[in-house]
A and B are shown apart, each in its own frame.
Chain A
Amino acid sequence: MGNSRIKWHIVVFLAPAVLVYTAVMILPLFNTLRLALYTEVDQSRVFVGLDNFRTLFGDPLWSDAFWNALGNNFWFFFIHMLVQNPIGIALAAMLSHPRLRFAAFYRSAIFIPTILSFVIVGFAWKLILSPIWGIAPDMLAAVGLKSLYAPWLGKEEYALTTLALVSVWQFVGIPMMLIYAALLSIPEEILEAAEVEGITGMAAFWKIKLPLILPSIGIISILTFVGNFNAFDLIYAAQGALAGPDFSTDILGTFMYRTFFGFQLQLGDPHMGSAIATGMFAIILTGVCVYLFLIQTRIRRYQF
């Protein structure tokens, strides 16, 4: 009988978060999905079903841009997974070494870029890499490697990779911190037991610590995935909404922005923009589901 009574305190405590989250996240999300099913004809909104998606994937003008942006997005993600996360893990492993001095200083210094605004990071790196005022050409010249310098942000073949690396520089602190926390939570006894068995140094990292931090690495991968597929700010700050040169740095975020809000003489089209946003949502949802149902359930967890 007691179970059928409504537990009012739970409702009351949940209400603020649920209301705020619904108002600023859930409603806009569904409204965007809905907007994608309409188009504008003579100043009035008309329901067109899946026509916008047909245009997006069927019309080469739109689909080429979409696949280009998606491909660039995957490359952006690939660079992060290849560079950011291994470096983050390596840094965390070094920081957690008991004999490292100034560990707190390194930790803060590496983490600081994460709290900077994208605009500052984009602008600062644009200046650093600038062929005219930048210190990159001079620094390379100082070590005799001037010939390696190229105006990276202006070259189609390098621009996206360069920006991905800038983003890695900015965010490497996050995997580092998460892994660092995971490493610290490994009980001493396990490491001592391993030592007794003769597993020390690098072997201890590969055989004991790494398997224990795998769940954290999984979380970091999915955070990177979601972050990268929602990325926009850095590209916009560094290359503008046209994501030059020749759309080589165009990712889904910039493509959506250009379409939704318009650009220069191109008028904004909220309906096609929403269709792209829906596409992004579907991609991210798929990625997260794959992780949750296929990967996370298979990672072995250890209870200490």
Chain B
Amino acid sequence: MSNYFEDLAHSVIAGQQDRVKQLTQQALDAGTDPVEIINQGLISGMNVVGARFKVGQMFVPEVLMSARAMNGGMELVKPLLVGQELPSAGKVVLGTVKGDLHDIGKNLVGMMLESAGFTVVNLGVDAGPQKFLQAIKEHKPGVIGMSALLTTTMLSMKDTIEVLKEEGLRNKVKVIVGGAPISQDFADEIGADGFAPDAASATDLCKKLLA
């Protein structure tokens, strides 16, 4: 079976949606545990994609192909998970910050979190402090994740954290940040709980913060 998972992971990395669907269906037909298919095949492939994207070994078009391929597999697996009534790993509110419209990386994080069993509320792009605040009140997430690609917008993360403090909500939710110009130093400076350099790390970080 390990070869099979390797094959599936490689097909995700190569962005071959048809192949991913075919392998996923084969595994399901053979009675493989859907959670195993996700964790050992689909996610493990996407983990590689996220890391390679971060260091410039893979680029936007390839990442999009991989994400689509993984989605193809997830769509086959998901209906089978519903019946199992797995407990959610936790709830995460995600958004690209105010003024910023870049969402490829953030959506990748969302997809990875969902695959790892988190419930994700995606606020989309251009999400200012008020939007995060409202979402926290409405959804009561364990974590909020803010993303920025532009340095013109990254300080909006700090604004959101300040608003949470003013509203007395800061200690009710963990705050994580990410995006090309973001670093651990910046996360520390603005008082975030964590920084994730890529999508796989974001999942690990959420697991750690909610443990």
Does B associate with A? no
Q: Residues on B close to A: CB < 8 A? A: none
